[in-house]
A and B are shown apart, each in its own frame.
Chain A
Amino acid sequence: MIDERIEDLAASDALGMLEGADLEQFTAELTRSPELQRLTAQLRQAATALAHMAPIAEPPAELRARVLASASSLGLDPGLPAALRLDGRMVPFRSWIPWLVAACIAVAAMWPERLYVRAESENVSLRERQRVAQLALEQTRAQLGDARRLLTQSGRQIAELSANLKAEGDLAHLKIATLASMLGNSPAALAVAVWDPTREEGVLAVSRLPALASEKDYQLWVIDKQYSSPVSGGVFVVDPATGEAHIVFKADKPVHSIAKFAVSLERKGGVPKPEGPIVLLSD
């Protein structure tokens, strides 16, 4: 009884697919098992029959002539000299002479044919090499096209990345702060200040601050540790309906390291130093 594992190996052998340790194991089993030898022979024969599955195609007529011409150029089979032994009896050398003469004539006669076959063979080989080279060229061209497309695409990606990095870099050095309300009667008041140290300019967006009487202004302060008192960023009023304001501001003095922003309630037109109550303050 042959187990399935060995039957697998026999089937693989029949299709020429055995290799490595499987081949060694199968060869060893085959040597000692007549039953496996029978199965192997049957499977190999069945595998050979698979050739009939191929769609039937007619070989070109010239192939027959080519095969026969090539066979002629090769001469007789190496086994033929044994026939000259005439069942083991040695033929005297003298009797070989006519055969040798005939052989020489035959070789001379076949020489042009041999040259033709050799040329044809070289031609076939050259055609094959040309075809392979052509395929390689086409593949290289395709790869080159792909590479160019990839390069263009990569260039675009690099440009996008550079732009993004630049934007991120620009953002990275901005000072952004949220100002929370210090007012008991308007706890929802809020402001965001963005300061660009390169341009020494900032933007302030305010919401929900209460409207002021006409003699009052809100005043923005920039707190830089190099100065003993806050630096004024200007005065502003809010929309009475929404409590909103958007202003672009500059500090009255050069600032390098902003610690905080603050908004105070001051008299109309502003003051050099904060006098009124702080209504908004950043962290």
Chain B
Amino acid sequence: MLSLFPDSLSWMRVVTLSKENVGYFRMTSTGDIDSPEERANANSELMRRMASGDRDALAELYDALSRPLYSTARHILKDASEAQDVVHDVFLTLWKNASTFDSSRGAAFSWAVTLTRNRSIDRLRTRANRARLLGNSVPDDLGYGSENEMLGADARVDLGDRAVAVRSALAELPKEQQQALELAFFSGLTQREISEKLSEPIGTVKARIRRGLLKLRDALANRL
């Protein structure tokens, strides 16, 4: 349940992985490529500066993370305005709780993604509970790639390296495992709801999620 991830503690549930684990690359303005570890360290340093009240550090962290966070929120909520509200709240949470951040327990990016996903899904469920609108909120086709034209060329280069690695790894998974992971991460549905949506036994859904996530872990570790 998402409620198990209180905002101030959820980053503790995500552990930073070193060389054997997953990360991503970023093309810098000078053409250099940060390693995942360097990027994690840079973000940790920004969090440390934020803890001492450095607004510039918050601005830098925003510049580094806002696109993937906004993309995630928008993809879950299918609503630009609500996605902006979520990203706004997430960065304020990071700002308010920066002093509790411990880089040995988790990466800032992971914390931020967890906050973004949890809050987006909470809104999705609130929306559904309020007006029974979930039917419009969870489309059958999650539509990956349909919004990329909104981004400038520089941004595509910057985010593309990270996204391409993940998407390439996902492309190697069997289709049914891809589908199960996509629904599990973005739809806000429970495993039982996913099993009903896919007309598959819940045990099958759980197995697909497990196998897909294990393969994704291995593929990303080899790729990045």
Whether B4 lies near A48 (C-beta < 8 A) is no
Separation of A3 and B99 alpha carbons in the complex (Å) = 38
Asked whether any CB of chain B lies closer than 8 Å to the CB of A150, the reply is: no
The interface size bin for chain B is 35 or more
A-contact bits for B89-112, CB 8 A (1 contact / 0 none) = 001100111111000000001100
Whether A127 lies near B214 (C-beta < 8 A) is no
What's the dominant secondary structure at chain B's contact region?
helix
Asked whether any CB of chain B lies closer than 8 Å to the CB of A139, the reply is: yes
Q: A58 contacts which of B82, B100, B150 (Cβ < 8 Å)?
A: B150
Asked whether any CB of chain A lies closer than 8 Å to the CB of B30, the reply is: no
Separation of A56 and B149 alpha carbons in the complex (Å) = 8
| Residue of A whose beta carbon sits closest to that of B207 | A8
Chain A residues with CB under 8 Å of B150's CB are: 56-58
Separation of A54 and B151 alpha carbons in the complex (Å) = 13
Minimum Cβ distance to chain A for residue B197 (Å): 14
Asked whether any CB of chain A lies closer than 8 Å to the CB of B124, the reply is: no
- Beta-carbon contacts under 8 Å, A1-24 to B: 4, 7-8, 10-12, 14-19, 23
Whether B113 lies near A12 (C-beta < 8 A) is no
- Beta-carbon contacts under 8 Å, B202-224 to A: 206-207, 209-210, 213-214, 216-217, 220
Q: A54-B68, A56-B151 are in contact. List 10 more A-B contacts (CB 8 A).
A: A4-B207, A8-B209, A45-B14, A46-B213, A51-B116, A56-B156, A57-B147, A72-B55, A77-B51, A77-B95
What are 25 inter-chain pairs, A to B, with CB distance below 8 A? Answer: A8-B210, A11-B209, A23-B4, A41-B15, A43-B214, A44-B15, A45-B14, A46-B22, A49-B166, A49-B216, A52-B166, A53-B170, A56-B148, A57-B150, A58-B150, A59-B67, A63-B84, A63-B88, A66-B88, A67-B58, A67-B87, A71-B58, A71-B91, A71-B92, A77-B99
